A and B are shown apart, each in its own frame.
Chain A
Amino acid sequence: MDSIIGIANQVFEIEQKLSAKGDSSGVARNVNRMKHHLEEFGYTFHNPLHEDYNDTRTDCEASIVGDFEDGNMYISKVIKPIIFKDSGGAPGIVQKAVVIVEKKA
């Protein structure tokens, strides 16, 4: 399982790079294909970037930059995504997102 999670993290990183730097070679197609195959194994991931953050969110491991103000925090950077594993029943989280959280401007 650890190896598949490692692959999912790499796919996520490639996707991030493509969206930041453009995709002149059409690599997004290959990335989608990889995501499809991960899904066949039951693995999906979610990027919580820019979502609101509060301390009930146990789907993220947050490093808080600056002060923490209840109800006014958001996820400013995602190092690793939330990875879900669906093994027939209800999907479970197999990796919490690793995120940077800060106060909304």
Chain B
Amino acid sequence: MSSTIDFAIDLGTTNSAIARSTHDGVEVFKNPLDLKQTLPSVVGFRRNRIIVGDKARELLGKDPENVFGGFKRKMGTTETFFVGNLSETKTPVELSAYVLRELKTFIHTGEEVASVVITIPASFDTIQSNATKKAGYEAGFEEVVLLQEPIAACLAFANKGDRAEKAGKWLVYDLGGGTFDVAIASINEQELKIVDHRGDNFLGGLDFDHRLVTDVFLKEIFRNPALAYLKKEYEERTLDFRRLYQVLLLKAEEAKKQLSVKEAVDVELEINDEDGIEEEVVITVTRDQFNECIREKLSYTLNLVEELLADNELEPSDIRQVILVGGSTYIPLVQELLQTRLKTEVNTSVDPTTAVAAGAAQYAAGKPKKVKATQEKEVSNSDQEIKARVSYPKSSMDGEEVLLLDFESNVEGYFYRIRREDGGFDTGIRNAKQKVREFLTLAPDRLNNFKVEVLNVQNVPVANNIPLIGILHGKFSIDGQPLPHDICLEVDDLEEKRTKLEVVFPKNSILPLNKTIYREVSKTIYRDGEEKLIVNVLEGDRYALPETNQTIGIIEIDPAKLDMDLVKGSDLEIRMEITESRDLHISVYLNQTDQEFDHLFNSSEKYVSTTRLEEELSLLIHKIRKDLKEKEGKEDFETAATLREYLAEAMAVEEEVALMKNTLSGDEKYHICERKRRVAQKYDQLGKHARLTKARIEYYQLKEGVETQVEESDDKTIKLRFKEIADRENEVMKGQSVYMVESHVKKLKSLNNELYINSDEGIIDLYYRVSVMDNSSFTDKKLAANFKEQGQKALERQNYKELKVIVFNLLHLLPAKKESSVWKNFKGTGIG
């Protein structure tokens, strides 16, 4: 455990932040609800719960009796805030403590933080400073060390490494969302102190948004004759206009951010005219226009800076550098004006939104702790574990669901808080009662996990037995008919010259189902040609051969129906819907020709394509023959006998199709298709387990060798290819598809070959193997002899690059292997 404080909080007027120093630098914690690094310093009391941050800020001004912001300005005063909903008053210290407690929840590491540095404005007197300390203690910290904000900011910049070079006076220009502060700091090797400061508590980025709306947006809108009527609505502040104004304010904030990096932005608006017809308005705002809107306000801040310098008898030239703090300093004009008027270097090297928190954390890293976060606390927490029974539905179709908490322990004086894991729901801090009923808002079509926290009087979480509440939202959680088999689409595998299955709806998916699949056309389909585009939807096992599965719907797009040739690589969309009664609707849209083909397949009908049947049989026979030859070669006569049986059956089916091709009735087609399917299934299952094991062993053995070579290689492409293979390894090896495992082995082999050829040893070895071949084996004997001679010389000179070219030339002189007519004539589906 660290002996220094490490943790620091920037308790701001508008926004606050918490950071921690580690040996790697400073981490500014993010709000678990929205991953922002800042928390609005606003507290709301909503009936029996307390909300802090963004949700409270939304209600600022809407519910002034119960929602409070800007209370930091009142620290150390006797002013209190009457809370209507509680019928009691809260002090600025108490309100600040709520913000500090909320910031503690940002600490994702779950550490118990007893000591903290909290920043205060340079203007805070002793009473205000003590009030801040008190807020820290009320929030549960046992040790609070205060640090002035401009000093914290200076530390963040100074620790960037140029402290010695820039020793002297620094100007800290802090322009936030709602406040402006400027301070002069004196910095040298030993000391960093604040000389003087100025500020305006009512000037910041929000004012700039309003100016952009009134000076630019509204003027432009009123110029549009159809929208001129809004001028009157503006004057009367009607509800419609107030709604529009909020939209404009949001657009202005967006535009302001973009104008920090772009010279001009287009703001698109849809505004209703007097008759309710939507009018589209596009306003182009340039940076110059924006600058004109805010120039006056910025000039005012510069006046304050100059006054501050004059009061301290300093010239701008006495300032070594200006450091920027606060989100509004991102605006380029801020930097320009500072540079022009002060003629001093402006330092922007630290993120201005978190500079104070980051600097304070750096200070905390050097500050020894006086108290320790006691371990006993955790023990006592577990001793006093709060027990509750929970009740909630595991799934839902509704937008919200009820959670019942029945506390078995006495929870008087305790609080609870429920948050959705994705940050989309937060009850805020609520008083715990023995029985709690809470409505939880669900995100659509997903598992919603909620965490229930029980908090003690200091709002510190205590141990409880409440599990993570998981509620599944969406149709898949509702009892319905599950699919008995995978539903797949048959697609081409051009590398393997065969087709494969791509699962669309996996087994056990609940009906009804729909999905759109996006693929490319794998071969050009000519209008005057004979090849069709075949969308074949099958039911069965996704890991089996396509021919073993049952076609449940097929659309064969006749080339004559195409408006033009369908080019290889063009996109196609296949939409599939399966109803609860298992009707299948397939719709195929061809992007290139803008044509749509669709068909509804009834679950009681069977679909057989004679073209596909012929091709599948031809491929099946070819594969069985090849396998048979291999088994005979290995003298595995038992398997060979079985294969011969399958071959005979497959050939008989093929013959039947050929003989009766044009006269087959629907039932006969279906019967033949079933025979083909049965023989294909038997063949697919034959020795499947042994093949899978063999392929897996081969993969892992090969991988070991390849991995070492890849590590030694400098080739980034090779490394990337290996990573791709390794990343998919788990998925492929755990699967039951022989085809997929074998194909993965093939990829690894190809990589291995490339590594071999790219190594000197590999190319020498290959040269020797090719050069011992008789010249008559090559297509050009004379040229081969010539290459061999050149190779020998290159080898003697140890010029392996040249040798590689020669080896490739020799390999090209070898006669090409004859491609089987089955592979050559592979037609496939046309879907890649």
* Residues in A lying within 8 Å of B, measured CB to CB: 13, 20, 26, 29, 32-33, 36, 46, 51-52, 55-59, 61-68, 70, 76-77, 79, 82, 84, 90-94, 96, 98, 100-102
Contact = CB atoms under 8 A, between A and B. Distances in A.
Contacts of B449: 90
Interface stretch (B149-157, B418-426, B669-677, B742-750): B418-426
A68 B62 contact: yes
Contacts of B278: 20
A64 B59 contact: yes
Interface stretch (B43-51, B172-180, B684-692, B696-704): B43-51
Interface stretch (B238-246, B384-392, B732-740): B238-246
A57 B420 CA distance: 10
Interface stretch (B93-101, B343-351, B438-446, B502-510): B438-446
B243 A65 contact: yes
B59 A36 contact: no
Nearest to A16: B270
B290 to A, nearest CB: 20
Contact of A84 (B55, B249, B250, B422): B422
A58 B39 CA distance: 13
Given A51-B399, A61-B58, A65-B239, A56 B427 contact: yes
Nearest to B58: A62
B195 to A, nearest CB: 40
A26 B449 CA distance: 38
Interface of B: 33-35, 44, 46-47, 51, 54-56, 58-59, 62-63, 239, 242-243, 246-247, 249-251, 268, 270, 278, 399, 419-428, 441, 443-444, 446-447, 449, 516, 518, 573, 589, 594
Contacts of A57: 55, 424-425, 441
A55 B573 contact: no
Given A57-B425, A82-B424, A93-B424, A67 B247 contact: no
B422 A55 contact: no
Given A29-B589, A91-B422, A59 B443 contact: yes
B55 A55 contact: yes
A9 to B, nearest CB: 10
B293 to A, nearest CB: 21
Nearest 10 CB-CB pairings of A with B: A59-B424, A63-B246, A65-B243, A68-B62, A58-B426, A55-B55, A92-B422, A93-B422, A62-B58, A58-B33
Contact of B249 (A13, A20, A63, A66): A63
Given A68-B63, A91-B422, 10 more contacts: A51-B399, A55-B51, A55-B55, A56-B55, A56-B426, A63-B246, A66-B242, A79-B250, A90-B447, A98-B250
B106 to A, nearest CB: 14
Contacts of B47: 70
Contacts of B446: 84, 91
Residue among B63, B424, B516 facing the most chain A CB atoms (10 A cut-off): B424
Nearest to A46: B444
Given A61-B58, A77-B243, A70 B46 contact: yes
Contact of B62 (A64, A79, A84): A64
Contacts of B239: 65-66, 102
Contacts of B249: 63
B246 A58 contact: no
Contacts of B427: 56
28 contacts: A29-B573, A33-B518, A46-B443, A55-B51, A55-B56, A56-B426, A57-B55, A58-B420, A58-B423, A58-B425, A63-B58, A63-B249, A64-B59, A64-B62, A65-B242, A65-B246, A66-B242, A68-B62, A70-B47, A82-B424, A82-B443, A84-B446, A90-B447, A91-B422, A91-B446, A100-B247, A102-B239, A102-B243
A92 B423 contact: yes
B494 to A, nearest CB: 22
Given A29-B589, A56-B426, A93-B34, A79 B247 contact: yes
A66 B237 CA distance: 11
A55 B243 contact: no
Contacts of A94: 35
A42 B426 CA distance: 24
Contact of B55 (A20, A46, A58): A58
A51 B115 CA distance: 43
Contact of B46 (A55, A58, A92): A55
A96 B423 CA distance: 9
A79 B239 CA distance: 18
